């Protein structure tokens, strides 16, 4: 864990995993790969069907393997692409926060929970979107990665066939691709609309604390802070103390404080970070 909280916070000059555009690029690459794998599968399927070769031939058996592997792989890649797009949005949401709490949040708080990320980023998913996000999450977690998992009362062949039919369904794949593109467009819109411009600010608090905020940009207002050793020593740790200090440093904070969710970053003695919600916004 860094000692100087001011030195390692997300900003427009961040790079790699700390900049939203790197996540977008990863997502685009995975999305394009999913489409390419799908096209390869369709071409191989069409070519084999036209060849007239028996399914039990060596070529036929290889095709049977690809028949399940390629569509499954395309769904897995598509699920990962949606995850990358959403985590790009989380990088925007966490602007001004420490790199350590961002890494903790995407790995632990959000992990592969696509639905939670979409809601926190105000994607406003439809009922079908929610079902599809949950489905893609299952693909990423297990269904498109590992052999079929069975409950005690399930038949192996029936479940495997149903799973393969779902992976191969063109309508299903097209709908999920369209969802991925809508999510990408939504993420790129964040902070880029003139009707709701984004404003953010951040500053160090003593040597090891910080305070940051972001409002507008189509997302709910958000305040994050880490108490400094000085604040803890002098018992200036309540949310009212934090608000008073922030408003003294930046008077405008008083105007939008009630429009923000307020989070405190805690750091354990072992250096592990976690984020606790201290207050919810009471104004829109």
Q: pTM of this prediction?
A: 0.91
Q: Residue 128 is encoded by which pair of tokens?
A: 């079908």
**Whole-angstrom Cα distance, residue 3 to residue 175?**
47
Q: What confidence score (pLDDT) does residue 2 get?
A: 39
Q: Which of 212, 207, 240 is CA-nearest to residue 225?
A: 212
Backbone dihedral region of 283: left (phi > 0), alpha (psi from -120 to 50 degrees) or beta?
beta
pLDDT of residue 73: 96
Compute the radius of gyration of the chain from its Cα atoms.
23
User: CA 164 to CA 69: how far, in whole Å?
Assistant: 9
- DSSP per-residue codes, the chain: --S-GGGSB--TT--GGGSHHHHHHHHHHHHHHHHHHHHHHHHHHHHHHHHT--TTSHHHHHHHHHHHHHHHHHHHHHHHHHHHHHHHHHHHHTTTSBHHHHHHIIIIIITT-HHHHHHHTT----HHHHHHHHHHHHIIIIITTSSPP--TT--HHHHHHHHHHHHH-HHHHHHHHHHHHHHHHHHHHTT--TTS--EEEEEEETTTEEEEEEEETTEEEEEEEE--HHHHHTT--SHHHHHHHHHHH-TTHHHHGGGEEEEEEEE-TTS-EEEEEEE-----
Task: Tell me the C-alpha distance between 148 and 157, whole Å.
Answer: 10
Residues contacting residue 15 through CB under 8 Å, at least 6 positions apart: 22
What's the confidence (pLDDT) of residue 59? 67
DSSP 5: G
Query: Which tokens sit at 126?
Result: 């439809």
pLDDT score, position 54: 66
The pLDDT value given to residue 68: 82
pLDDT at 57 (0 to 100): 67
The Cβ of residue 242 has, within 10 Å, a number of other Cβ atoms equal to 24
Q: Which pLDDT tens digits describe the chain residue by residue (284 residues)?
A: 334 445 589 998 999 999 999 999 999 999 999 999 999 999 888 877 777 666 666 666 677 777 789 999 999 999 999 999 999 999 999 999 999 999 999 999 999 999 999 999 999 999 999 999 999 999 999 999 998 888 889 999 999 889 989 999 999 999 999 999 999 999 999 998 888 999 999 999 999 999 999 999 999 999 999 999 999 999 999 999 999 999 999 999 999 999 999 999 998 888 788 999 999 999 77
pLDDT of residue 3: 40
Q: Based on the number of CB atoms within 10 Å of its own CB, is 239 exposed (0-12), middle (13-18) or buried (19 or more)?
A: middle
Q: Are 222 and 278 in contact (CB under 8 A)?
A: no
What are the two backbone dihedrals, phi and then psi, of residue 129, each rounded to the nearest 5 degrees?
-60, -45
Tell me, what's the pLDDT at 15?
A: 94
């Amino acid at each position: 864990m860094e000692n100087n909280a001011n030195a390692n916070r997300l900003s427009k000059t961040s790079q790699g995993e700390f900049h939203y555009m790197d996540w977008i690029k990863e997502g685009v690459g995975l999305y394009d790969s999913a489409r390419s794998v799908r096209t390869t599968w369709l071409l191989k399927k069409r070519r084999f069907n036209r060849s007239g070769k028996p399914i039990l031939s060596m070529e036929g058996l290889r095709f049977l393997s690809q028949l399940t592997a390629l569509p499954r792989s395309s769904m897995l890649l598509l699920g990962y692409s949606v995850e990358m797009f959403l985590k790009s949005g989380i990088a925007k949401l966490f602007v001004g926060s420490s790199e350590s709490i961002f890494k903790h949040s995407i790995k632990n708080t959000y992990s592969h929970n696509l639905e939670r990320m979409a809601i926190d980023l105000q994607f406003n998913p439809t009922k079908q979107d929610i079902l599809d996000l949950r489905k893609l999450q299952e693909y990423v977690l297990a269904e498109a990665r590992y052999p079929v998992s069975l409950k005690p009362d399930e038949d192996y062949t029936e479940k495997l066939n149903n799973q393969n039919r779902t992976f191969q369904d063109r309508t299903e794949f097209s709908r999920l691709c369209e969802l991925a593109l809508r999510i990408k467009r939504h993420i790129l819109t964040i902070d880029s609309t003139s009707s709701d411009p984004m404003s953010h600010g951040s500053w160090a608090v003593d040597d090891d604390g910080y305070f940051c905020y972001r409002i507008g940009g189509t997302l709910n207002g958000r305040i994050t802070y880490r108490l400094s050793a000085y604040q803890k020593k002098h018992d200036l740790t309540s949310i009212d103390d934090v608000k008073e200090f922030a408003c003294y440093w930046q008077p405008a904070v008083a105007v939008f404080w009630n429009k923000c969710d307020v989070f405190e970053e805690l750091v354990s003695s072992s250096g592990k970070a976690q984020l606790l919600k201290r207050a919810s916004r009471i104004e829109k």
